Amino acid sequence: MEGRPGERCPPRVVDFRASPGQKPAARATGPRGRAAAIRLRQTRCATTTSGSATARTLGKRIATVTKDRPALWVTLGWWVALIALAAATTLVCQATFASAPHAAGTGGARGGIAAPGTAVGTAMDEALPADIAHLPLTDQDGRSTDLAAFHGKILMISDTMTLCQETCPLDTADLVQTARELDADGLAGKVEFVTITIDPTRDTPAQLSAYRDLYRPVPANWQALTGSASAVAALWKFFGVYIQKVAEGSPPDVNWRTGQKLTYDLDHSDEIFFLDAVGTERFLIEGMGHVAAGTAVPEAMAKYLDAQGLANLRAPASDGWTVPQALKTLSWLLQRPIAQSSAS
């Protein structure tokens, strides 16, 4: 199920939805332009615009000085202006994308383990606003919590819907396998894995608890959260997750836990977010999980997958995120190597 992103600089809208009468295919990687990417583009555009203005001003001044001189000197003036513009653009790119990691314990260390490259995801540097960190949420056991409660731990956060039949069970399988790998290396106390629903109406604590129990053995540092519709919407709006309510198919599917017929569906994007121990977003990986041999999808979830979901499981897209990529990101944030089993 796919998203409809809007990007700036320059504005464009990309429609990933299926044609009329056709069910959308699997959610695509980066289907909605990611709010963070928009913020990066806005920063880059603002600085480039400033550089462009400087170049234009320089060009005009040279042209003014040389207006009564041979055309050769006018041409030379414009070449100098273009060189200045190119230099400004280069500096902007370097400032935008060559962000150095921060001190160890808060998301990386200078001179230590390097951040994953752009082939894996996008480096970030944005602290959670207080109103987002304190949005009231509820865990799978009905206990009240919020993201601020995890302060002091690195977070790996995924968006999910327990009634998803195409990608979410795969994302969860990879997240759980990542937790197991990390825990096996003695790092369970340093990282929390958090699955947060995009469908709070149906993903009640009881539904999330049953979903979590399917992925046994359940890592102790994996929590599944829900909340009010307004709190969940505000959270995912901040992170830039695309969510759109759409009509349920015909005949309608049923809830795998209760057997109740579904009355709607949700198109949404798939992302994995990494926050450091002080609550700053450090890295983003977009796309569905690439489930490798050795990573188990629970039997109940494998049976619940639709035709597209089974295709995603059996023939994963080449750009799907993997457990090794998640471990590489966590290794950077922890600033220590993480042993990997053959299963990952």
Which residues make Cβ contacts (< 8 Å) with residue 115, sequence separation at least 6? 101, 108, 123, 282, 283, 329, 332
The answer to whether residues 93 and 107 belong to one domain is no
CATH classification at residue 283: 3.40.30.10
The answer to whether residues 182 and 92 belong to one domain is no
| Alpha-carbon separation of residue 128 from 58, 288, 292 (angstroms) | 41, 24, 32
The answer to whether residues 149 and 291 belong to one domain is yes
pLDDT of res. 79: 63
The answer to whether residues 110 and 184 belong to one domain is yes
Number of separate domains in the chain:
2
pLDDT of res. 60: 42
The answer to whether residues 169 and 57 belong to one domain is no
In a domain, 153, yes or no: yes
DSSP string, 84-146: HHHHHHHHHHHHHH-PPP--TTSS--TTSSPPP-TTT-EEEEEEPPHHHHT--EEETTS-EE-
pTM flag (> 0.75):
no
DSSP string, 18-36: PPTTS---SPPSSTT--HH
Residue 9 has pLDDT above 60, yes or no: no
In a domain, 23, yes or no: no
In a domain, 26, yes or no: no
Q: Last residue of some domain: 81, 98, 115?
A: 98
Which residues make Cβ contacts (< 8 Å) with residue 56, sequence separation at least 6? 81
The answer to whether residues 257 and 190 belong to one domain is yes
Nearest to 214, CA basis, from 163, 254, 249, 248: 163
* Higher-scoring residue by pLDDT: 313, 1: 313
Over residues 277-331, the pLDDT tens digits come to: 999 999 999 999 999 987 999 999 999 999 999 999 999 888 899 999 999 999 9
3-state helix, strand, coil in the chain (%, to 5): 40, 20, 45
Q: Is 33 exposed, middle or buried (0-12, 13-18, 19+ CB in 10 A)?
A: buried
- Rounded to an integer, the average pLDDT of 56-67 is 43
The answer to whether residues 296 and 233 belong to one domain is yes
pLDDT of res. 112: 92
Strands (E), the chain: 6-7, 12-13, 122-127, 137-139, 144-145, 154-160, 191-197, 222-227, 243-247, 264-268, 271-275, 280-286
- Rounded to an integer, the average pLDDT of 194-219 is 98
| Alpha-carbon separation of residue 344 from 113, 292, 328 (angstroms) | 20, 7, 12
Over residues 76-116, the pLDDT tens digits come to: 566 666 666 666 554 444 444 434 444 434 444 445 999 99
Single-letter amino acid code for the residue at 218: V
**Strand 144-145 versus strand 6-7 pairing type:** unpaired
pLDDT of res. 229: 98
Two tokens, residue 66: 């040389």
The answer to whether residues 188 and 151 belong to one domain is yes
pLDDT of res. 98: 39
* 329 vs 324: CA distance, rounded Å: 9
pLDDT of res. 319: 86
* Higher-scoring residue by pLDDT: 328, 36: 328
The answer to whether residues 229 and 80 belong to one domain is no
The answer to whether residues 164 and 307 belong to one domain is yes
Which residues make Cβ contacts (< 8 Å) with residue 76, sequence separation at least 6? 62, 66
Question: By residue range, what is the domain housing residue 275?
Answer: 102-334
Q: Last residue of some domain: 42, 69, 98?
A: 98
The answer to whether residues 74 and 175 belong to one domain is no
Residue 47 has pLDDT above 50, yes or no: no
